[in-house]
Structure 1
Amino acid sequence: MSETPRADDPTQPTGAPPTPGRAPQEAPSTREPAASRRDHDEDPLRGSRTSGLWVTMVVVGVLIVLLVVFTLQNTQPVDLAFLGWEGRTPLSAAILIAAAAGILITALAGSLRILQLRRRVKRQGR
């Protein structure tokens, strides 16, 4: 008479199906202690503030090169008039000044909204 292997039998192959009529045996925990896991998580090649700064500097450098190319390709002078001010300036300077003004106005509006939300949160916290 042939004997069927038990589910908890260490000689039974790992990938073998459990014996019918028995609950499947839970696999042994492969989790490492927290301290040991922490050592593995500290990958020496992980991102850092320095690597983030390096990426930022590369992006800023590329943007500056693009701005220089834009400025050199758009040197033709244009006449401008704004609220009674009149003048003549290179096209690239006029566009860059307008873009900078738009960024500043957007940043001001965003800052005011952040201050408003902070006050609201502070009031609700009381």
Structure 2
Amino acid sequence: MSTSSEDPATAGPPDRSSGGAVPAPGTAASDAAHPGTHPDVARGKGIKHTRTGATWSGLVVGLVVLLVLLVFILQNLDSVTLELFAWEFTVPLGVTLLFAAIAGAVIMALVGGIRILQIRRAANRQRKLTTPS
């Protein structure tokens, strides 16, 4: 029951000219203390995590890693001799270590990709078994 003398059915839209936000039904009165903000923001429930934000963070971290690698390579320009079977190479030390890191990343990506395909195949098999025909 309402203690107001005004009938809600005949009342017009709330007056928004004062700039104050009218709290939505079911929200606490403390939400109205932050005029002009969304109720989730007023309660401290903003956007916590998005894919775009994660991608941006990943790109920033990748850029920092690339800069560190560039400095490392430029500081390790001493030539080393590599022997692989019958071939012999003379390459700067920093470049050699970069190639080794890239080879390790490729091997890791291949193994990870094979595992993803294996899990996807098992999930599809499980879905076919549990789906009624």
Q: Closer, same or farther in 2 for the Cα pair 1:40/1:118, shift >3 Å?
A: same
Instruction: Say which SS state the counterpart of residue 86 (structure 1) adopts.
Output: strand
Identify the residue that residue 85 of structure 2 maps to in structure 1.
83
Separation of aligned partners in 2, 1:69 and 1:57: 18
The alignment status of 1:33 with 2:26, answered yes or no, reads: yes
Q: Which amino acid aligns with 1:33?
A: G
Say if 2:78 and 2:92, in contact at 8 Å, map to a contact too: yes
Separation of aligned partners in 1, 2:96 and 2:120: 36
The alignment status of 1:119 with 2:114, answered yes or no, reads: no
The size of the alignment, in residue pairs, is 92
Q: Which of 103, 106, 114 in structure 2 is aligned with 1:104? A: 106
TM (norm. structure 2) is 0.57
How far the C-alpha of 1:117 sits from its partner, in A, is: 1.2
Q: Closer, same or farther in 2 for the Cα pair 1:105/1:61, shift >3 Å?
A: same
Unaligned runs of 5+ in 1: 1-31
Q: Closer, same or farther in 2 for the Cα pair 1:46/1:113, shift >3 Å?
A: closer
Counting aligned pairs with the same residue, the percent is 39
Identify the residue that residue 71 of structure 2 maps to in structure 1.
69
Unaligned runs of 5+ in 2: 1-24, 32-37, 129-133
Identify the residue that residue 58 of structure 1 maps to in structure 2.
60
Instruction: Please identify the structure whose Cα radius of gyration is greater.
Output: 1
RMSD value, Cα: 2.7
Instruction: Say which SS state the counterpart of residue 59 (structure 2) adopts.
Output: helix
